[in-house]
Chain A
Amino acid sequence: MYGTKSKIDLAFEYQSQVAVLRPSIHSRRANLTVKFQDLYGFTVEGNVDDVNVLNEVREKVRQQGRVWWALEASKGANWYLQTTIGQGSALTSSLKFSAMANAITLKKLIRKGIPPVLRPKIWFSLSGAAKKKSTVPDSYYDDLTKAVEGKVTPATRQIDHDLPRTFPGHPWLDTPEGHAALRRVLVAYSFRDSDVGYCQGLNYVAALLLLVMKTEEDAFWMLAVLLENVLVNDCYTNNLSGCHVEQRVFKDLLSKKCPRIATHLEALEFDVSLVTTEWFLCLFSKSLPSETALRVWDVIFYEGAKVIFNVALAIFKMKENELVLTHHVGEVINILQMTTHHLFDPDDLLTVAFDKIGSMTTNTISKQRKKQEPEVMKELDQRIRRLNSLRMEDK
């Protein structure tokens, strides 16, 4: 896909993609709500200030693009793949140093955002999707989609039900062609991993992957690497146990990182999972503007699932002063939803996520998960037993 285009072609294609938004003269005069399409075809509603923020963001994206092109020119097209340090002693110290330097540069660059045109290629390489795909025959995806064509399962029925309900109104996703592509990806994955099958939420994730990756097959492998390598196990399986674990870990982290908020929300008897469950299951694809969500995904695919915690904590942190003044559950939800829907500047969010929240290693999160897992399993088990006893009584 990329081999046929020169860097200059890509650069031009990229420049033309990042359009400047121009609200009408009337909306510029008054602080009215304006509607416009973002880079990925979603209709965004905001006021003129939001449009100005988006234009500034797009200018930053253009500048970032130039940095990436310059690095490609000086270090070679796939320089970002030379970031792992091998175990062999044969590796010279200068090579080790250059790999380490590349890794540091790459981490910084990715946090500042991957240019939209480079996203498919970089995600595919850095996430491990390319490696995963290379372990099976080239025809794997085609064979799988052909093999499952026409098969009806509970998962396929649910997928069919959700196709028109996935980003309705989107100019491509909400067309017969878009529905068919999304269906093939979701059905194929439901057969690849029958433990997951189909879980609502994956429709939004897969849809956004399709928009970014451009090809169904690449979107399929990105979905596979996400569920099998990046995210916690059992996040989407039949009782969402992994999701329950993540929610408990998040509550724990909120108490540690944002104690004022946690204490206040506890006093209101507000369980943050009421809001954050959707963030974790849809990876912010339903709550953040798409361009912001994808900036978060840039980092997730390189640094892992810990990033979801950083970002979720950052959303609370950004509104700390407002949240601690709330008196009702409704107010809390309003603040969080208004915040997420209008987070048009990804840098604002990611700066808080990585600079103000403080570092969290994957190791720390893993330890927390291990601590919470037995408790969650015990609770879910008790719940199943209670429900079964209800049904026995009924008979």
Chain B
Amino acid sequence: MATIGHNNLNAKLVGPSSLFSISFCFFFLSQSFSIPMMFSPCSFHQVLLGDMGAGKSSLVLRFVKGQFLEFQESTIGAAFFSQTLAVNDATVKFEIWDTAGQERYHSLAPMYYRGAAAAIIVYDITSSDSFTRAKKWVQELQKQGNPNMVMALAGNKADLEDKRKVTAEEARVYAEENGLFFMETSAKTASNVNDIFYEIAKRLPRAQPAQNPAGMVLVDRPAEGTRAASCCS
């Protein structure tokens, strides 16, 4: 089942919809199961920022498509994804901008974070430089981003424990001091990936209640190999 994180969390992925409209999904399902789905999710603009190679694209790809590629194409400018979550009695649609990490692309960043409701600042736990860079992003967003922005700090590549350069404690302290919430993630193993997005969804302004019956899973995430069978894949 597509439950996010621990089993006691009542959050479900409504449908992987990177680059595809999710409306077809709901039409397809309502036709198949004769369930009326008068349903309008709350849309939130979200941005991922962080150093080149920190794993921003891998995090989004894992969240949206349940995939991990050892070598993910480098992002130029930014890439757009969307994903819908059912959180308790509400539905949240994330419109995610995954930005380029190279320093010279910094000048394009305001275009992507302007008006964003949430941001995930990603660093690589095996690179102290990427943590320093993450702090600069936090500082910039605090001063120039949306004042009500929900900010998360993600210490990615947590599976590379033997190469760790940034301790979880150091990052946690920094996050607490700066009003962010912090999680260590691994796009490779999927550890905490869904959880970080779910935590953001919980902290966003209250979403509209979902119109579908409570607790119903609109689209289960199929196992890796059966992905193509999904109506939205």
Contacts and interface: CB of A to CB of B under 8 A. Distances in A.
Nearest to A337: B19
A201 B72 CA distance: 14
Interface residues of B, number: 36
A394 B76 CA distance: 30
A377 B80 CA distance: 28
B85 to A, nearest CB: 15
B108 to A, nearest CB: 6
B76 A282 contact: yes
Contact of A200 (B52, B71, B115): B52
B107 interface: yes
A167 B72 CA distance: 9
A161 interface: yes
* Interface SS, A side: helix
Contacts of B20: 334
Contact of A199 (B21, B104, B112, B139): B104
A175 to B, nearest CB: 13
B102 interface: yes
Contact of A240 (B72, B82, B97, B108): B108
B95 A281 contact: no
Nearest to B74: A165
Interface string B206-219: 00000000000000
Given A200-B52, A386-B144, A277 B73 contact: no
B5 interface: no
Contacts of A164: 71
Contacts of A391: 136, 139
B102 A158 contact: yes
Given A165-B71, A168-B73, A273-B111, A240 B80 contact: no
Contacts of B100: 200
Contacts of A380: 107
Given A164-B71, A239-B107, A277 B19 contact: no
Nearest to B17: A330
A300 to B, nearest CB: 18
B144 A277 contact: no
Interface string B55-99: 000000000000001011111111010100000000000010100
A269 B95 CA distance: 14
Nearest to B78: A274
A333 B139 contact: no
A199 B143 CA distance: 28
A337 B17 CA distance: 13
Contacts of B72: 165, 168
A240 B108 CA distance: 9
A337 B95 CA distance: 15
A278 B107 contact: no
Contacts of B105: 200, 240
B73 A166 contact: yes
B191 interface: no
Contacts of A271: 111
Contact of A390 (B74, B76, B140): B140
Nearest to A332: B80
Interface in A356-395: 380, 383, 386-387, 390-391, 394
A333 B45 CA distance: 14
A244 B109 CA distance: 12
Given A390-B143, A394-B139, A274 B76 contact: no
B80 to A, nearest CB: 5
Given A164-B71, A165-B71, A329-B95, A200 B111 contact: no
Interface in B111-128: 111-112, 115
Contacts of A203: 74
23 contacts: A164-B71, A165-B74, A166-B73, A168-B73, A199-B102, A200-B75, A201-B76, A239-B104, A240-B105, A240-B107, A241-B107, A273-B108, A273-B111, A274-B112, A281-B76, A282-B76, A286-B76, A330-B21, A330-B82, A330-B95, A334-B20, A390-B139, A390-B140
Given A165-B73, A240-B104, A281-B76, 14 more contacts: A158-B52, A161-B53, A164-B71, A168-B72, A199-B104, A201-B76, A203-B74, A273-B111, A281-B77, A286-B73, A333-B80, A338-B19, A380-B107, A390-B140
Closest 9 A/B residue pairs (Cβ) = A277-B77, A164-B71, A278-B77, A168-B71, A278-B76, A165-B74, A201-B76, A200-B102, A333-B80
